[in-house]
């Protein structure tokens, strides 16, 4: 087995040279290899991923292979294993800023809620590989921030409490699935002491929909991921003010039942699966990607929601007050 592994690695490493010779020389290997021959580069990355799969690894610096076919984004493991954690001063400064936002919005009649989408390892530690052991959940950036905010009276439900080990994330993706997003929406309404018009339970999520994972292309770019999500029967009851190109549009605005509250939601990519529940619920929804000018944009709405991935908390302070933030 060990000899076979060595032979496979040598073949993979020699493949670029062989391709160059057959194509007319080794000059084609100079410069930016990835840019010059994207197709070949993807073939090499895919081959390397399969080779490493023989020893339970992905071969990618970005992807960690878990058990039962589960994948984890390496950067999103940092908080769970307490690597590069925010300092106490950084957590306190962020809590102060968020509490100030909440207080200012309350003065104009807008209720604020912070939703931190737990990193996948926090919701599904049971599929982590043996060599990755999460630390104490109470010591994560997410938990420390929520504790400080609750002391200040800020509405900030800990979504890990409702998502953990409940089949709420996609196996080959960094994000929650439709059921996980629904539980987050339900937790938001519960924290605001508002009725839930849906009242879905797990067995209501039966409609299959393609959901190829964003982690597969990072180490097997030529492979097609056949993963599916399960959706609930949720008829569309809202109207888009302008047809969106995709759920990644910078701004999406919808109108619905005039008796329902108006929602402003600033979000990152975790907002995609959250959108249907919010749009069908709100009388007016303004759904924006990014957090700049949050206070000014949220004024006038009944509820203002800041939805952010746990791994991105370190950049939230900058995102709220300048334009130097980039989604991670």
What token pair was written down for 170?
């996609």
Q: What is the pLDDT of residue 154?
A: 98
**Residue 290: other Cβ atoms inside 10 A:** 17
User: How confident is the model over 221-230, as pLDDT tens digits?
Assistant: 878 999 999 9
Residues 107-129 as b/e (b if ≥16 CB within 10 A, e otherwise) read: eeebbbbbbbbbbbbbbbbebbe
Q: What is the pLDDT of residue 18?
A: 47
Q: What is the pLDDT of residue 173?
A: 97
Place of tokens 């993706």: 173
Q: What is the pLDDT of residue 36?
A: 53
* Mean confidence (pLDDT) of the chain: 86
- Alpha-carbon distance 230 to 85, whole Å? 34
Where is pLDDT greater, at 54 or 96?
96
DSSP string covering 255-311, please? E--TTSPEEEEEE-TTHHHHHHHHHHH-SEEEEEES-TTHHHHHTTSSEEEEEEEGG
User: How confident is the model over 154-186, as pLDDT tens digits?
Assistant: 999 999 999 997 899 999 999 999 999 999 999
CA-based angle 23:25:26, to the nearest 5?
Answer: 115
Q: What is the pLDDT of residue 58?
A: 54
Would you call 64 helix, strand, or coil by DSSP? strand
Output the pTM of the full model. Answer: 0.85
User: How confident is the model over 237-266, as pLDDT tens digits?
Assistant: 999 999 999 999 999 999 999 999 999 999
Contacts by 64-70, CB closer than 8 A, 24 or more apart: 64/128, 64/129, 64/132, 65/129, 66/127, 66/128, 66/129, 67/126, 67/127, 67/128, 67/129, 68/127, 68/171, 69/171, 69/172, 70/124, 70/127, 70/171, 70/172
- Among 37-41, 101-105, 296-300, the minimum mean pLDDT is found in 37-41
The answer on pLDDT for 17 being more than 50 is: no
Per-residue pLDDT band for 279 (boundaries 50, 70, 90) equals very high
Q: What is the pLDDT of residue 20?
A: 43
Q: What is the pLDDT of residue 133?
A: 83
Per-residue pLDDT band for 56 (boundaries 50, 70, 90) equals low
Instruction: Tell me how many helices (H) and strands (E) the chain has.
Output: 12, 10
Per-residue pLDDT band for 104 (boundaries 50, 70, 90) equals very high
Domain spans in the chain, listed from the N-terminal domain onward:
2-55, 86-321
* Mean per-residue pLDDT, 271-289: 98
Per-residue pLDDT band for 326 (boundaries 50, 70, 90) equals low
- Alpha-carbon distance 41 to 29, whole Å? 11
Per-residue pLDDT band for 83 (boundaries 50, 70, 90) equals confident
Q: What is the pLDDT of residue 2?
A: 47
* Mean per-residue pLDDT, 79-83: 83
Per-residue pLDDT band for 219 (boundaries 50, 70, 90) equals confident
């Amino acid at each position: 087995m060990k000899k076979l592994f060595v032979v496979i690695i040598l073949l993979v490493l020699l493949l670029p040279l062989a391709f160059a010779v057959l194509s007319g020389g080794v000059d084609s290997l100079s410069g930016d290899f990835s840019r010059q021959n994207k197709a070949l580069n993807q073939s090499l990355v895919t081959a390397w991923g399969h080779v490493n799969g023989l020893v339970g690894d992905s071969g990618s610096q970005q992807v960690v292979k878990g058990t039962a076919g589960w994948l984890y984004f390496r950067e999103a493991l940092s908080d769970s294993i307490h690597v590069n954690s925010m300092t106490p001063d950084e957590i306190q400064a962020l809590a102060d800023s968020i509490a100030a936002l909440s207080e200012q919005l309350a003065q104009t009649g807008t209720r604020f809620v912070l939703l931190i989408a737990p990193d996948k390892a926090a919701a599904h530690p049971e599929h982590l590989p043996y060599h990755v052991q999460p630390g104490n959940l109470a010591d994560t950036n997410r938990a420390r921030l929520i504790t400080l905010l609750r002391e200040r009276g800020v509405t900030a439900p800990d979504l890990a409490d409702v998502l953990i080990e409940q089949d709420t994330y996609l196996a080959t993706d960094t994000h929650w699935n439709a059921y996980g997003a629904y539980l987050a929406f339900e937790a938001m309404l519960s924290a605001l002491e508002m009725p839930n018009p849906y009242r879905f339970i797990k067995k209501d999520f039966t409609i299959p929909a393609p959901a190829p994972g964003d982690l597969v292309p990072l180490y097997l770019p030529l492979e097609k991921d056949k993963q599916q999500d399960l959706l609930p029967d949720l008829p569309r009851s809202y109207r888009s003010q302008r047809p969106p190109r995709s759920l990644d549009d910078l701004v999406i605005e919808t109108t619905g039942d005039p008796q329902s509250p108006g929602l402003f939601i600033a979000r990152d990519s975790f907002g995609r699966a959250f959108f249907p529940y919010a749009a069908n619920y709100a009388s007016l929804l303004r759904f924006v990607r990014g957090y700049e000018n949050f206070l000014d944009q949220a004024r006038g709405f009944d509820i203002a929601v800041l939805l952010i991935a746990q791994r991105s908390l370190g950049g939230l302070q900058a995102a709220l007050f300048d334009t130097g933030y980039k989604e991670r």
